[in-house]
Amino acid sequence: MSSDTEENYENDGDILTKRKVKTPRKYKVLLHNDDYTTMEFVVYILQRIFSMSLIQAQATMLEVHEKGTGECGVYSKEIAETKVNQVEKESRQNGHPLRCSYQPE
């Protein structure tokens, strides 16, 4: 059995059937560097929306700054979409163009 499937058994009266169920795909949430959003605001976002400690948030912020993108976490598709929407809403409300996206792991 591969690591991304599980076997489930169903009982149809006298017949036991076996079916494979795929494990839901996970998605990485990424922050993208820009020339306008302050480092302090990125740290704030990472702490507020992604529940990172100050040290984790600072390390991720530096990764975004130095490499152009930084991974904020890995989630189900629905949670990844929600996190992206939260980042963009909070950023716009505070006058920052910070971009956030998600992609399959």
Domains and CATH numbers, the chain: 38-105 (3.30.1390.10)
> Who's near 95: CB < 8 A, 6+ residues apart?
none
Residue 2, pLDDT score: 45
Residue 11, pLDDT score: 60
Burial of residue 98 (number of CB atoms within 10 Å: 0-12, 13-18, 19+) = buried
Q: Whose structure tokens read 């993108």?
A: 69
Averages of pLDDT over runs of 10 residues in the chain (105 residues) are 55 68 92 96 98 98 97 97 98 97 97
Residue 18, pLDDT score: 72
Residue 23, pLDDT score: 87
